[in-house]
Structure 1
Amino acid sequence: MLKLDAASNMPLFQQIYCQIRADILSGARPEGTRLPSLRAMSKEMQLGKNTIESAYAQLALEGYIAAIPGSGYKVNPIYGLLHQIESNPTVAFSLSGNDHAQKVNQHYRYNFSYENSDGSTFPNTIWRKLTSQILTDDAPASGYSTEMHSYGDAAGYLPLRHQLASYLYRSRGVRCTAEQVVICSGLQPSIMSILRLLQGECNIIALEDPGYHGARAVYECFNTNTIAVPVNGDGLDLAVLVNSSARVAHIAPSHQFPTGVVMPISKRMEILSWAIENESFIIEDDYDSELRYSGRPIPSMQSIDTNGRVIYLGTFSKVLSPGLRMSYMVLPPLLYQRFCEIFSGFQCTVPWLEQAVLTRFMANGLWERHLRKICLQKKKKHDVFVNTVNQLWGERAIIHGHNAGLHILLEFTDGASEKELVSKAALSGIKVYPASNLWKDKALCPKNCLFMGYGMLSESDIVSALKVLKAAWC
């Protein structure tokens, strides 16, 4: 029964339309139900025929009802379609299985995330001061006022590239000119550029297995043929690489992700020989080279490359902030010339202001001071994590990949499976991550292994969280 309000500001025909529409959507007027005729409805509601006709016409226009010649109007199958959409398993899966939505909606007391950073370590005061200095410096000699309002080089701000070339030689032995350094907005854009540079030349790429899922996602997105090469105790399996038809190898020789394996010099030389003999390229992913807590810094593979076969990748995400979206790659001379030709009409994707601030940050000696501070802080977290795991689990837990970086692989020698460990941790308000996501070949992944980052948590939170996990997993 329709209820109309003559005192309402809504026209009567619209009140009729809205109520019938609501009945159809709720299923109160099922598919095929005939509506009262215009004459019958007009008499029942004591309204003019035109008012009823206007309401029906709007419902028909929007597809809620259909006119039957000589028989009035009947309800279309709206409710059935609506119910089918709501109960469709594909749609339900996409809504309930969306990882991002779960991350946003579910609150955890502690999160062992690897990808995000601890904001308290960012040099906010200094960064703000340098930004202000640059924005207010209108001296012609500095060139800031011109640079700020100009489109720059596709490879990035040249003074920053000079700073990087100098720093990389001192810290990692990387030998290059400033021109060979290209500023990028993250690892994935770097890979996209490399794929374009090698288009038609290197159609198959060898990836470490396990390896960084963010890199693998780019190759898969661009339908690049890849070969998963198992990682052994000294790095990727060289025999598999040599026997493959790959022309590019994407590796992390100084701190393999996620196992933490350091590739020995002998294997580095063998891989370089493979690249020279096959006219192939090596993408050296040096994602966290600054964060090493024991021993001397390990020279990069690029430092021993005398034939221009290594593309060196680095980032500021781990020691500054991933939100800056700033990384870099060092191209061999041949590929840098190709870069200039292909990307001559492009602009750098990293904002000039952030590049200028980082340039001054490095030029003033603040970068290396910041590195020393960060390494000390991260080492304390690393030591707390490792010591607490050893105290709580002893020989029942094996720690892979420690003494560097911001993550470890935690493998249990007995007990629950990976799925059970993740589930029980979540019930206790703690987010831990399955290691199997990092393996292409799931059969090679340990059955009860977790991938855990500790960079976001304080030292006291690391201890508290691990104690909660100990109780949850017993």
Structure 2
Amino acid sequence: MIGFVINFQNSGSPKYIQLYEYIRKEIELGNLKNREKLPSVRMLSKMLSISKVTVENAYSQLLVEGYIESKNKSGYYVMEFEADELGQFKKHLKAIEPQEIQALDATLYNTDGTEENAFNFSEWKKAINLVLEYETKALLSYGEPQGELCLRREIARFVHQSRGGVCKPEQIIIGAGIQYLFGLIATGFKNDFLKVAFEYPGFSKGMVVFEDYGYQMEKIRVEKDGIDVKMLEASGARIVYVSPSHQYPTGSIMSIKKRLQLLDWAAKNHAYIIEDDYDSLLRYEGYPVPALQGLGEGEHVIYVGSFSKLLIPSLRISFMI
């Protein structure tokens, strides 16, 4: 192709994000065709009067999410999407508006705990004192079974702003750890489903929870761009656990093409996807990949998140939508 026509806005959004959003939307609308070659980094940099680093960052984000591919000594090309997948793009185009997704600064910790200076105890103490001074009545009751409404409101806002999620406070259940929430899911589906599928290798502790509830386990291999959807279809399972934004333990990210295939599988089979979004905001570089739940407008996806990595593990605050 010849190039792009884009007017960069003087907003809080970096230029590389604006360029990424523009190219992504052109692909989703079908204006950029399958296997179409994109301008080189140098060409686009000169054409738009921006730095090569800005173009490289935009292309890197598109690569991570599976919209484009890089061919050695040839350049960048649009990935091949089927006609029905482009239709799903247009259907869900308004489900996630990237400018609403806020990139958050995060400190990386080891897997067993948090560095002592990484948690703001001063702010935490202020918050506790505020509750003890003005909200003592609420501390004298059992509280709401789903979790405190004020916390669920903030979680709904947080998920929408940071992950592009689609939810209301009424849809959120708060629990003391992911495994506790998995127990609720297992109990809720026990009379309707006999099998559950898990990425393999994957979250072994989660597998144990479902096995304890009597489910038959189907281990589905993880490919370079995420779970093997064809193997999932052949398994006969109608519940599947995935960690699309940062697969554990391989670290892979599920491509947009495979995300659409997974959502299509769920819709056709009246199935459910358990999306574990345990640490997607912790990134060395780039933009957090939007949640699968937001792409699917909240249908067929049970979104599970935790604050163990963002705050401290001892708080044991997890939630599901």
**TM-score, structure 1 as length reference:** 0.44
Aligned match for 1:296, one of 287, 291, 314: 287
SS in 2 for 1:249: strand
1:125 corresponds, among 109, 122, 142, to: 122
Matched, 1:250 2:241: yes
Match of 2:175 in 1: 184
Partner of 2:299: 308
CA distance in 2, matches of 1:202, 1:281: 11
Deviations 1:10-60 (A, max 9, x none): xxxxxxxxxxxxxxxxxxxxxxxxxxxxxxxxxxxxxxxxxxxxxxxxxxx
- 2: CA distance between counterparts of 1:119 and 1:182? 30
Q: Contact 2:181–2:320 (CA<8 Å) still a contact in 1?
A: yes
What amino acid is aligned across from residue 300 of structure 2 in structure 1?
R
Encode CA deviations 1:262-315: one digit per residue, 9 max, x unaligned: 101111111111111111100000000110222222110001114720000000
The alignment-based identity, stated in percent, is 37
2:117 counterpart SS class = helix
Q: 1:184, 1:327 within 8 Å by CA — same for their partners in 2?
A: yes
The separation in 2 between residues aligned to 1:114 and 1:223, in whole angstroms, is 30
Q: Deviation of residue 325 (structure 1)?
A: 0.9
Distance 2:148 2:287 in 1: 31
Q: Where do 5+ consecutive residues of structure 2 fail to align?
A: 1-108
Distance 2:317 2:213 in 1: 22
Structure 1 position 218, deviation (Å):
1.3
1:222–1:119 Cα change, 3 Å: farther
**1:154 corresponding residue in structure 2:** 145
- Secondary structure at 1:254 match in 2: coil
Give the conservation status (yes or no) of the 8 Å contact 2:153–2:169.
Answer: yes
- Give how far 1:119 is off: 3.5
Alpha-carbon shift at residue 156 of structure 1 (Å): 0.3
Q: 1:172-251, aligned counterparts within 5 Å? A: 172-251=163-242
> Hey, what does 2:71 align to over in structure 1?
none
Specify whether residues 296 and 202 from structure 1 end up closer, same or farther in structure 2 by C-alpha distance, changes over 3 A only. same
Q: Which has more radius of gyration?
A: 1
Give me the whole-angstrom Cα distance separating, in 1, the residues matched to 2:203 and 2:113: 15
- Report the alpha carbon displacement of residue 113 of structure 1 after superposing the two structures with TM: 6.1
CA distance in 2: counterparts of 1:270 and 1:192, whole angstroms: 27
Letter matched to residue 120 of structure 1: N
Give the SS at the match of 2:113: coil
Q: 2:317 aligns with which of 303, 323, 326?
A: 326
1:117 Cα shift?
2.9
Structure 2 counterparts to residues 18-417 of structure 1, below 5 A:
114-137=111-134, 144-306=135-297, 308-330=299-321
CA distance in 2 between partners of 1:201 and 1:262 (Å): 30
**Cα separation, partners in 2 of 1:119 and 1:220, compared to 1, 3 Å:** farther
Question: How far apart, CA to CA, are the structure 1 residues paired with 2:115 and 2:264?
Answer: 40
**How has the CA–CA distance of structure 1 residues 163 and 113 changed in structure 2, closer, same or farther, with 3 Å as cutoff?**
closer
Report how far residue 145 of structure 1 moved: 2.4
Secondary structure of 1:120's counterpart equals coil
1:183–1:307 Cα change, 3 Å:
closer
Measured against aligned partners, the alpha-carbon deviations of 1:219-261 in whole angstroms (never above 9, x if no partner) come to 2322321101011101111111011110100000011001111
Which structure carries more helix by proportion? 1
Q: What's the offset of the Cα at 1:136? A: 2.0
Residue 168 of structure 1: SS of its match in structure 2? helix
Whether contact under 8 Å (2:244, 2:253) holds in the other structure is: yes
Q: CA RMSD in A?
A: 1.5
SS of the aligned residue for 2:240 comes to strand
Mapped to 1, the partners of 2:176 and 2:298 lie a distance apart of 27
TM-score under structure 2 length normalisation: 0.64
Inter-partner Cα distance in structure 2 for 1:329 and 1:306: 15
